[in-house]
Amino acid sequence: MTELNLNFSYAYGEPLGNAGFRCEYSDFQVYEQLPKAPEGEGEHVYLYVRKTNNNTAWIAKQLAKAAGIQNMDVGYAGLKDRRAVTEQWFSLYMPKGSEPNWQQLDIQGAEVLTVSRGRSKLRRGDHADNRFVIRLRNPSARVEDLEARLKLLSQGVPNYFGEQRFGADGGNLQRASQWFDEGVSIRNRQQKKFIVSAARSYLFNRVLSERVQNHSWQMTLEGECLLEGKASGPMWGRGRLESTAEVLALEERVLAPMSNWCERLEHLGLRQDRRALAMQAMDLSWQWLEGDLELQFRLPPGAYATSLLRELCHLEQPEIVEE
């Protein structure tokens, strides 16, 4: 079985002490922003939904059931965290017929805030950004140290895929190793999708961790493949790496121990792609609330808030007893 290491390099030194994380659902809030408002007309009903402690995919299925349509006719721009209070848009293909009373839907932990219509189905990545409001409980580090670190983080952080991408305790990566290295068959189609996504993300994180380790994650090296002016790393698939020279040599060296995974991903028909090594938190601000630290910032699609938080402090997440 492939040796897996999720202890990726830190850009600004070790995290500063500990803090309580997601102690309450409202400690982690996400507000999805679309590039523009729905048109107000069209074949798709647009619903802006607040959900608490629910998966996006589960809410989508409940909306399809309430509307009497197929699951595939419900679209959304991104998966939002479960253990949180989040607001996001859903589109439902309903060109004809009557609509339910959306404000009276009986879906536990969900509330429809806005109803509109649009001309097209929402697809992954269609949102402009996500706004986060996160409360860290009783940080153990000194206030001045945390604020100095936050000023550094405002300059950019490594664009790691968050640990939630890999499943509980890295379970999706363990299953990837069983599938790729040991030939264990994975029959569930949805599970396969999650495993493949986790495997590609892990390979990217390994390359990024090496670039952080050698302090080149914000630099342009010889042979760099730039994305909007930023250095990038590989999202593995079929085809040649787009990097050359020094960067190509680094990526090949780092991923050499994972050659079996690379080969299997190629055979699954995935194409080579790239992802930026650095991400910028927009409008980063903070305030102290009775000894807790509240952060507010915006991130583009595909970026993880936990990848910023890991550079600040160790996150201690308690068990929440479900009612």
* Beta strands, E only, the chain: 18-20, 28-33, 44-52, 74-76, 85-93, 110-118, 129-136, 157-158, 232-235, 273-276, 278-279, 282-289, 292-299, 314-316
What 8-state DSSP symbol labels residue 3? -
Which residues in 29-52 are b (16+ Cβ under 10 Å) and which e? bbbbebeeebeeebebbbbbbbbe
Name beta bridge partners: 28. 134
Looking at this protein, which amino acid is placed at residue 163? E
Instruction: State whether residue 95 is helix, strand or coil.
Output: coil
Instruction: Tell me if residue 73 is catalytic.
Output: no
Q: Which of 27, 73, 81, 126 is catalytic?
A: 81
Q: Which residues are catalytic?
A: 81
